[in-house]
């Protein structure tokens, strides 16, 4: 599992950071993205749907938003 720390970044940076790390991975890899911007709970799943990736899990813990993504095939 790859960990991406996108805390203290505001839109659109968490999505851009997620996109950049996913470009380096292969289908089936998992990424766990931790953010503090609540907008990611809509933005990252929307980006994943458009780009063929799957959000496996979303969590909200102590004002942090954590999304686990499975990389799809391009």
Question: In the predicted model, is pLDDT for residue 17 greater than 70?
Answer: yes
Question: In the predicted model, is pLDDT for residue 54 greater than 80?
Answer: yes
> Rounded to whole angstroms, what are the CA distances from 58 to 9, 20, 24, 69, 74?
18, 20, 22, 9, 23
pLDDT tens-digit profile of 5-16?
999 999 999 999
State pTM to two decimals. Answer: 0.94
Residue-level pLDDT at 10: 95
**Active site (annotated) includes residue 48:** no
All structural domains of the chain, each given as residue ranges with its CATH number in brackets, are 2-70 (3.30.110.40)
Q: Is the dihedral of CA 43, 70, 21, 64 positive or negative?
A: positive
Instruction: Tell me what percent of the residues of the chain surpass a pLDDT of 90.
Output: 97
Q: Which of 2, 7, 9, 11 is catalytic?
A: 11
Question: In the predicted model, is pLDDT for residue 74 greater than 70?
Answer: no
């Amino acid at each position: 599992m790859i960990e991406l720390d996108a805390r203290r970044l505001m839109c659109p940076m968490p999505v851009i950071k997620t996109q950049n790390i996913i470009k380096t991975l292969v289908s089936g890899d998992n990424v766990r993205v931790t953010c503090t911007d609540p907008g990611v709970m809509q933005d990252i799943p929307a980006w994943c749907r458009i780009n063929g990736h799957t959000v496996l899990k979303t969590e909200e813990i102590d004002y942090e938003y954590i999304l686990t993504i499975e990389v799809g095939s391009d």
